Amino acid sequence: MSSSTGILTEYYMWASNAIIIGMALVLPLTLRIKFRFRTKELFIGSLIVMAIITVFSSITSKGEFVVVSCLIFGVAKAIAMTVMILPFRSMISPDGNNSRFYAVLYPITISSSQVGTFFTSNFALNIGWQAVHYYSAGILLIAALISVIFIHNQRFGKKLPFYRIDWVGVLLFTTALMSLAYIFSFGKQQDWFNSPYILRAICFVVVSMGVLIIREQNIKRPLLSFKLFKIRQIRYAVILLTAQGLYMGMSSLMSIYTQAILGYNWMNNASLNLMTLPGIATAGFVAFYWTKHKLPIKMYIFSGFAAYFLYTVALYFLMVPELNISQLYLPQLFNGYGMAALFISILIYTVEKIPHDIIMQSGASVMFF
């Protein structure tokens, strides 16, 4: 998309982060949104919004428009996922066992993401990336039509107004996260602290986050709750999440190596990512067995980091100009296991024995890490 439109790659990096930020914004508002609208309204509305933005992203030539569109896309995606996950959770775990639910949910979502990337890359290579957007929008609209028929039109509960939402807090939280995402996306291109734009963004982050923290501690109905960080296991979980993020960054390093040194295109990289599927499936089976027998979750976390460690060590010794792509299959298996195992185990470790209402208010701040 970047080479075709002339938009800087950094804008697409910023837009990718904006999707996650949009999803984080919805998390504290989930219950109020569920009580305000009907299930059918939420799901169909989200699908239509995503379809419109998908088409818009294929025709715009302004990087700023792409970023704002992706932020809205993330909000719509989070709402649709919330509507879909609640009944899915009751089917997978009728007794409310969160551990079993996460052991099934994450392998499915991570695997579908890898498969989706493969097909998207394949279609983009053969029919063009614009056509991929049009087909994706069409699939979303078909899903919306199916939802008109099969989704019930009942309310989740008593209708609640929106005026009690801390909209100032939403604005401050968005400003802080989007400014931080800008710094990470454009830092190298803008020469970091030598750029007035980067310095201005740093000021936005510090001021917005500072005002947000002070405000949320002194209003009656805060958007975010920082009570979660008083719990010891949450502080440990944040450290684990940060370490996992560092390991996940290794995949981008491998993509750079395979494209710049070995000369593979994005289709080869997408095919290589499919080799994470056996590892992801293995992590799911292990998690299901682990939670069924109530084994210590710390050892499962250790197995995830051990797999990532083996992945990085293997890459260190394998990265030579004569490397064959088949030699990367085993490291990718370790990569898939480590990614899925840590997503599942850290989440189980984080939410275990924590009240649901605190998680909903605090989850967005944890997603920050």
Give the tens place of pLDDT for each residue, 266-310: 677 777 788 888 888 898 888 888 877 778 888 888 999 999 899
DSSP-assigned states of every residue in 233-282: HHHHHHHHHHHHHHHHTHHHHHHHHHHHTS---HHHHHHHHGGGHHHHHH
Q: Indicate whether this model's pTM tops 0.75.
A: yes
Backbone phi and psi for residue 38, each to the nearest 5 degrees, phi listed first: -75, 155
155 bridge partner residues: 38
The gap between the terminal CA atoms of the chain, to the nearest Å, is: 28
DSSP-assigned states of every residue in 65-99: HHHHHHHHHHHHHHHHHHHHHHHHHHHH-TT--HH
Q: Is the pLDDT of residue 39 over 90?
A: no
Greater pLDDT, 360 or 323: 323
Rg (CA), the chain: 21
Mean of the per-residue pLDDT values of the chain: 82
Distances (CA, A) of 89 to 92, 95, 104, 136, 299: 5, 10, 10, 26, 25
- pLDDT at 53 (0 to 100): 92
- pLDDT at 242 (0 to 100): 84
- pLDDT at 132 (0 to 100): 87
Distance CA 301, CA 295 (A): 12
- Region for residue 155 given its phi and psi (left: phi exceeds 0; alpha: psi -120 to 50; beta: otherwise): beta
Give the tens place of pLDDT for each residue, 120-153: 888 887 888 888 889 999 999 999 999 888 888 8
Amino acid at 324: N
